[in-house]
Structure 1
Amino acid sequence: MNFSLCEESDADHWIYAGEGNLNLVVRYTGDNQIYKGKVLRVIKNSKNNQGPIQDNIVFKKQFSERVIQPLLGKEYVVQMSPVETSSEFLTRLAKHVEPFRPAFRTDRQIVTDSPISFLLNDLTQVWPNSPTLTYELKPKWGFKPDSSFISRNNIKKSSCRFCMHSYLREIPANDFCPLDLYSADRSRVQKAVRVLFTEKSLSKTLSVSVDGKKLSLSSIDHQNLLGFTNNNTDLMQEVLTNVILKDPILQIIKQLQTHLDELDVEGIYSLCHQNKDLLKLVTDDICIWKDVVDLHQKRRQDNPGFFMDGVCNTEEQKQRVYEYILSMTFKDCSIMINVTPSQATDISDKTITLADGLSFRYDVKVIDTDLKSIKKIPYWFELDQSIVKHATETNFEKKCH
């Protein structure tokens, strides 16, 4: 380990950038060249954290490198470098960022005795000398299940999970459906992007920043954006639409979600109900996960069609439970899309040119890919049943395509 943040005063050079359920991210603002252009990811306490903290952190790095990276592709995974962190540094950092945290996140605090945190490239500074527009998109589920464990007339086969869940939570009806984002159809992607920019209830699905500073989507028309003076709302929507249509990342995520969840939660829960030991499977052994990935990829090569019959032997049941846990990770991941102005002569594969001739380079990374807890399977099943029951009993009519 080459880096260390052990002095209490070191915390003063890091500012709050964001957080998820398990990690909090801070951005470096000091003059040390080692940390310039970097963010620091520190872990938060969780009821699922078990065993020595250092072992958990090392496993997260291995999981990213040996499981997520082979499935997604190396170009989409952010590389993590371990850095030593002292309790003095983390305690001061926790106090420093607390006023900037959203209230709904403050039930979990930074683990101040974590001996290791991770340095990552700041994804809002991919091109340090050029203005950078960053979209953080949480695309959600990109498919409707087609499992033999689901009855033919089950509403899940006509309405997507996101739309039914929004209906259950009484989120105001809107025209957004994640299946449109994944469709690879320009008009549908344009529609989904337009709604994401205009519907306040979807603020957790899409956020936008310029050079790391978050924008208010309701007032971007009056801001100078990347040096352009045309309608910024239209420009931002068109850029995002074109990147989604050109880059294969959403199709990769959709395939992973679908192929890792061939049995649906109803089939997975049925297996676990019959064999309680499946809920006690080991999940902190990286060798097991590497084997799971290898077996999954081999099955997809040998038999690319869905396996629609029941899973018989115990080893295959374990494999399918492990795969389902991975599918839940990809259903809850986020995508960071960065763009910067480019010359029309730029022949990079990661370049888009709009109808008016403006060109942009882009970069895509997938984040929030930590392993989910196997113990949540009963909860996921109960939630699934609640969503379906409510939609069925109240004659939910929205059909998703």
Structure 2
Amino acid sequence: MSGSVSTCGTKDMVGELDEMMDNQWMAAVLGAKDAVEWIYRGEGAANLVLAYCGSAPKFVGKVLRIQKVPANGSECENGHSALTKLECILWGKFEGIVSAPTRETAEQLYVQKVMCPLLGSEHVDAGIHVLVSREFLEAVEKKVLGQRPSWRVDAAKVNPLCDSVLLIADHSKFPHGIFKEDFCVSVEIKPKGGFLPVSEFIAEENAVKKKIPRFKMHQLLKLHQGKIRKLSKYDPLDMFSGSKDRNNFRVFLNGSLAFGGMDGSADSASYTLDQAFLDGLKHIIVAKDGMHIKYFLELVAETIFKSGLLDRLLEVQKLDAIDIEGAIHAYYDIVSQPCMVCREKDGNKLLGRYSSLHSMPRDEKLKIVRDYLISSTAKDLSLMISFRSRGNNLESPYKVVFLESTKQTFDYKASFIDLDMKPLKKMEYYYKLDQQIVSFYVKMVKDKEAIDNGYRSQKDINKGKEGKVVASFDFFLSAGSVLPQNIPHCENVSEDVVLDLSTHGSNKITFHMFEHTIFL
């Protein structure tokens, strides 16, 4: 596969939000009557996302991001709690963040002042705040209740005490009015961490972290905890490897599962494909029947790797230079607490190295923790890429990608989304989770080795007899499961669910999926 990506009149977010970025607030207040013009798009753990379906120019092509609170908690979170005193010190070098009146405003400025310069202003949308009434929030909550998955409803609700919400561009679409051809397809990719740590502060018993991606280790723990049904075969190192053939995408049409995998062969798994999705691709990809999926996935891979987006993202992720096992020591000094790690590892040969961290100047400790939190944002974000055929439109403000396979040129725009600011107080949580992930993985590997050894011994004993010994852990470690075909909405699918559809023989096809989403 070959192709090229070039720039044609690049502008920051292609001018979509130029008028919005001049101010952090929009002079409008949304009331109960406005709720009818906002429809459910999806949600994550912390926010509900609504898309605009009305005709007001200032909202067309935009989405609202509305804060949620735990369903069983009290309505005490009104967004007015600004940064803590220590967080003000941590982010003090960035203009405006410390003086932000609310945490919501601080988080918006974090995207604008911190993440935007690192990832590129043309790929980052900080959005603006829009004032809302309690009546609007209550009306929205009631309107979308039936569209939300039950497990999301049980976990959280719209925070009725917020006085503002975040308005951002709908990055799954191109703005209307530039060309008559408005049909587009968008891909949402959640890359996760793309490198293995090499920190000297990683304990010997945790050395596996230097060989196995954290995501893959975390899968085992999540499966054990019942948070996922099967292990994902997705490997972030593949995504960042530069190899176009080693990646997995989850494909959705209007929020329903349509296709998964990079194989591109549609014949043996045609029953999994949404015909409307295939029909839609025909507006984008010029190809013979049965080849649209293959060429579309080539287009996605071509754009990702030729654009250098992942290279830039990886640079930001690597701000985590000493791993959480190093950064946690700087954290305890910043918050003026005894280092619990040093206390637990009394007598450990790494204590000498830890002491070098504790003896650092305060500014260096602040930088270590700040860089770790920024890196955490970069490891959790998503990348949204939208495509449309350029056709005869020779002038366009968008970047272009040429697909050699079909001899077509496409407009594309790429945006990093979900750039959440990580609270300083979560450092201890990050450390404890890291240790839990690694220790459980090491234990499971040892258990599997014991099972494998026992299996081999049993085979020797039963040689010549009928039957065989099956190690249940082999199934536990295997990845892949059949996913229900009618998923109500893409954002409601666990990030770790896998689709593995296989046929036997020479035409074997296996599709693996991760939180990589495609919208039409």
Q: What TM-score range do you get, normalising by the shorter chain?
A: 0.7 to 0.9
1:350 aligned partner: 400
1:92 counterpart = 2:139: yes
Q: Is contact 1:76–1:364 with CA below 8 Å preserved after alignment?
A: yes
Change (3 A) 1:384 1:2: closer
Larger radius of gyration: 2
Q: CA deviation at 1:2?
A: 4.1
1:238 counterpart = 2:286: no
1:52 counterpart = 2:80: yes
Render the CA deviation track for 1:142-169: whole Å, top value 9, x for unaligned: 1111111014670011111011111232
SS state at 1:216 partner: strand
TM-score (norm 1): 0.79
| In structure 1, C-alpha distance between the alignment counterparts of 2:275 and 2:299, rounded to whole Å | 15
Change (3 A) 1:345 1:246: farther
Q: CA deviation at 1:346?
A: 5.2
Q: 2:65 aligns with which of 3, 24, 41?
A: 41
| In structure 2, C-alpha distance between the alignment counterparts of 1:22 and 1:182, rounded to whole Å | 27
1:181 counterpart = 2:239: yes
Alignment of 1:148-159 (within 5 A): 148-151=200-203, 154-159=207-212
Change (3 A) 1:51 1:21: same
SS state at 1:370 partner: coil
2:421 aligned partner: 371
Alignment of 1:23-34 (within 5 A): 23-34=47-58
| In structure 1, C-alpha distance between the alignment counterparts of 2:212 and 2:61, rounded to whole Å | 43
Q: CA deviation at 1:232?
A: 3.7
Q: 1:270 aligns with which of 310, 313, 329?
A: 329
Q: Which amino acid aligns with 2:66?
A: V
Q: Count residues with an aligned counterpart.
A: 352
| In structure 1, C-alpha distance between the alignment counterparts of 2:239 and 2:392, rounded to whole Å | 26
Q: Which amino acid aligns with 1:8?
A: A
Identify the structure with the greater helix proportion. Answer: 1
1:380 counterpart = 2:438: no
1:165 counterpart = 2:218: yes
SS state at 1:394 partner: helix
In the alignment, structure 2 segments of 5+ residues that lack a partner are: 1-24, 82-100, 224-228, 260-271, 339-355, 450-476, 478-520
Q: Which amino acid aligns with 1:104?
A: W
Q: 1:219 aligns with which of 273, 293, 296?
A: 273
Render the CA deviation track for 1:166-206: whole Å, top value 9, x for unaligned: 123236345421111111123xxx2222xx44xxxxxxxxx
| In structure 1, C-alpha distance between the alignment counterparts of 2:198 and 2:218, rounded to whole Å | 18
SS state at 2:113 partner: helix
Using the TM superposition, name which of 229-238 and 139-148 deviates more: 229-238
Q: Is contact 2:68–2:157 with CA below 8 Å preserved after alignment?
A: yes
| In structure 2, C-alpha distance between the alignment counterparts of 1:101 and 1:368, rounded to whole Å | 19
Q: CA deviation at 1:18?
A: 1.4
Q: 1:21 aligns with which of 35, 45, 58?
A: 45
SS state at 1:390 partner: helix
User: Identical aligned pairs, as a percentage?
Assistant: 28
Q: Is contact 1:221–1:233 with CA below 8 Å preserved after alignment?
A: no
Q: 2:389 aligns with which of 341, 359, 362?
A: 341
Q: Is contact 2:385–2:412 with CA below 8 Å preserved after alignment?
A: yes
Q: CA deviation at 1:213?
A: 5.2
Q: CA deviation at 1:340?
A: 0.9
SS state at 1:94 partner: helix
Q: 2:194 aligns with which of 142, 163, 168?
A: 142
Render the CA deviation track for 1:305-346: whole Å, top value 9, x for unaligned: xxxx74612221122112111111111111111111123885
Q: CA deviation at 1:10?
A: 0.8
| In structure 2, C-alpha distance between the alignment counterparts of 1:20 and 1:174, rounded to whole Å | 20
1:75 aligned partner: 122
Render the CA deviation track for 1:218-276: whole Å, top value 9, x for unaligned: 32356302325543432332222111111222111111111x21110111223334664
Q: Is contact 2:35–2:140 with CA below 8 Å preserved after alignment?
A: yes
Q: Is contact 1:5–1:89 with CA below 8 Å preserved after alignment?
A: no
1:283 aligned partner: none
SS state at 1:356 partner: coil
Change (3 A) 1:374 1:315: same
1:291 aligned partner: none
| In structure 1, C-alpha distance between the alignment counterparts of 2:366 and 2:26, rounded to whole Å | 39
| In structure 1, C-alpha distance between the alignment counterparts of 2:394 and 2:307, rounded to whole Å | 16
1:250 aligned partner: 310
Using the TM superposition, name which of 268-277 and 330-339 deviates more: 268-277
Change (3 A) 1:351 1:377: same
Which one scores higher on RCO, CA 8 angstroms, separation ≥ 6?
2
TM-score (norm 2): 0.62
1:119 aligned partner: 167
Change (3 A) 1:349 1:93: closer
Q: Is contact 1:220–1:232 with CA below 8 Å preserved after alignment?
A: no
1:314 counterpart = 2:340: no
Q: CA deviation at 1:349?
A: 4.1
Using the TM superposition, name which of 248-257 and 167-176 deviates more: 167-176
Q: 1:394 aligns with which of 438, 444, 448?
A: 444
Q: CA deviation at 1:76?
A: 0.8
Q: Is contact 2:390–2:411 with CA below 8 Å preserved after alignment?
A: yes
In the alignment, structure 1 segments of 5+ residues that lack a partner are: 198-206, 280-308
Q: Is contact 2:327–2:369 with CA below 8 Å preserved after alignment?
A: yes
Q: Which amino acid aligns with 1:121?
A: A
| In structure 1, C-alpha distance between the alignment counterparts of 2:394 and 2:290, rounded to whole Å | 22
| In structure 1, C-alpha distance between the alignment counterparts of 2:175 and 2:57, rounded to whole Å | 16
1:362 aligned partner: 412
2:320 aligned partner: 261
1:64 aligned partner: 111
Q: Which amino acid aligns with 1:225?
A: G
SS state at 2:434 partner: helix
